[in-house]
Amino acid sequence: MQTSTSTASASQSRSARLAVIVCSHRRAIAHSPLSRIYATGGCLQLFLLVFASLLAGFCPYASAAASSASFQDSEGKTVTVTHPFVRIISLYPAHTENLAGLGLDAEIVGIEGGDGDLPQLRNKQHFSYRDDPEKFIAARPDLVLVRPMIERSAPQLVATLRQAGITVVSLQPNTVQEIFYYWRALGLLTGRTRQAEEMVAAFQSELAAIRKIVGKIPEKARTKVYFESIHAKMKTFAQESIAMYVLGQAGGVNVAADARQVRETNIAAYGKEHILAKGAEIDVFLAQKGRMNPVTVETITQEPGFQAIKAVRNNRVFLVDERLVSRPTMRIIEGIKTIGALLYPELFSGGPPKKGSGDGR
């Protein structure tokens, strides 16, 4: 495996720049979705490195690459790929789930210790960013996939692995549009570009079907929702976050659209005072449930002052698995359907999820 990484200019945004390299063949670019990447602007910047010596170019629709291609990861580092990586350690459950979704198994030699969602990978060696670098090196990976939080929390680990010749790539999309580029970046790294495009197409097809259902709901009749991310800190999600995208696609209206984003994360600060000020408007109170927010319905309903919230008085407080709304995987579709069934059970087949999926009262 021949790869190289270099630090981008400090003046560049450190938000996600996962955009995948397009084919060097002009016709391939013209007819691919990647030809429209520039139109998105914002956090994700298309980083093109086209090699003049290539005749066929690196096409993200091939299953393997014979030529090099590059992209920038979420920390602004340039990653150049000449061959698919074949010994991968994933330190983020979403990376692991997406790699499995691309069809990888034997190529995954290690996963983050708390990643127990995929039975087929349960026998993989477990790793943590708190582990000694020698444990990683002993596993002989050619690629370690992390996310920005790990790169900031464990800089010595990352530096040691890179000094040992191991490629470390930091990826974490913050919007749905970035998710598509993220999947394509994973496809580029693993030689599964065709499968990555199939994931994007499957997501878009499922979403189109959901939009037909939600389109039946008049804008003025849509349910107003407060969506909690961290109860202990009274935080919600940033307006451009994946979770708020899920809510919006399910037909919900975010009552905390004025919340202040925390740095460049999915989280937004709101506070109890603001929540109570909107109490009379909140038809449904949603909260993600998981490691980030280990909350119960009772915790929310018994919060001092929360009886002022209409949703609490009407027993419309629900918990949603954080894996369905906060992780950049295909399960986002399940999250949209789950929330849609909670908000509009008469429109989504099967009615609201049973307790345990979208726990509520």
Domain termination site, one of 201, 235, 259: 201
Digit-coded pLDDT (tens) for 92-113: 999 999 999 999 999 999 999 7
Q: What is the pLDDT of residue 174?
A: 82
Q: What is the pLDDT of residue 227?
A: 98
Whether residue 225 sits in one domain with residue 176: no
User: Locate tokens 């109570």: which residue?
Assistant: 276
275 phi, psi to nearest 5 deg: -60, -50
Whether residue 168 sits in one domain with residue 225: no
Digit-coded pLDDT (tens) for 10-19: 334 433 344 4
To the nearest 10 degrees (0 to 180), the angle between helices 93-101 and 193-214 is 100
Q: Is 212 inside a domain boundary?
A: no
Q: What is the pLDDT of residue 177?
A: 84
SS3 assignment, position 320: strand
Whether residue 234 sits in one domain with residue 146: no
Q: What is the pLDDT of residue 323?
A: 93
Whether residue 281 sits in one domain with residue 254: yes
Q: Please, what sign has the CA dihedral across residues 72, 77, 81, 87? A: negative
Q: What is the 3-state secondary structure (H, E, C) of 228-262?
A: EEEHHHCEEECCCCHHHHHHHHCCCEECCCCCEEC
Question: Which CATH number do you get for residue 124?
Answer: 3.40.50.1980
Q: What is the pLDDT of residue 35?
A: 32
Whether residue 268 sits in one domain with residue 339: yes
Whether residue 141 sits in one domain with residue 18: yes
Q: Is 211 inside a domain boundary?
A: no
| Mean pLDDT score, 114-130 | 82
What is the pTM assigned to this prediction?
0.80
Whether residue 236 sits in one domain with residue 120: no
- The model's confidence at residue 264, banded by pLDDT at 50, 70 and 90, is confident
Dihedral, CA of residue 264, residue 290, residue 355 and residue 179, to nearest 10: 40
Whether residue 295 sits in one domain with residue 164: no
Q: What is the pLDDT of residue 11?
A: 34
- The model's confidence at residue 68, banded by pLDDT at 50, 70 and 90, is confident
Q: Is 213 inside a domain boundary?
A: no
Contact 168, 146 (CB under 8 A): yes
Q: Is 355 inside a domain boundary?
A: no
Distance CA 19, CA 39 (A): 12
Contact 339, 246 (CB under 8 A): yes
Total domains in the chain come to 2
Digit-coded pLDDT (tens) for 272-296: 999 999 999 999 999 999 989 999 9
Digit-coded pLDDT (tens) for 296-323: 999 999 999 999 999 999 999 999 999 9
Digit-coded pLDDT (tens) for 314-354: 999 999 999 999 999 999 999 999 999 999 999 986 544 54
Does the pLDDT value for residue 59 go beyond 70?
no
Distance CA 226, CA 306 (A): 12
Residue 333: alpha-carbon gap to chain centroid: 12
Whether residue 329 sits in one domain with residue 288: yes
Distance CA 43, CA 46 (A): 10
Q: What is the pLDDT of residue 300?
A: 98
Dihedral, CA of residue 321, residue 324, residue 327 and residue 332, to nearest 10: -170
Query: Higher pLDDT residue, 181 or 56?
Result: 181
Q: What is the pLDDT of residue 228?
A: 98
Digit-coded pLDDT (tens) for 43-57: 333 333 333 222 233
Q: Is 298 inside a domain boundary?
A: yes
Q: Is 257 inside a domain boundary?
A: yes
Digit-coded pLDDT (tens) for 236-250: 999 989 999 999 999
Q: Which amino acid is at 62?
A: A
Write out the residue range of the structural domain in which residue 224 sits: 219-343
Does the pLDDT value for residue 2 go beyond 90?
no
Q: What is the pLDDT of residue 354?
A: 47
Whether residue 152 sits in one domain with residue 8: yes
Within 54-175, residue ranges assigned H as helices are 93-101, 133-138, 148-153, 155-163
Distance CA 85, CA 190 (A): 5
- The model's confidence at residue 175, banded by pLDDT at 50, 70 and 90, is confident
Whether residue 109 sits in one domain with residue 53: yes
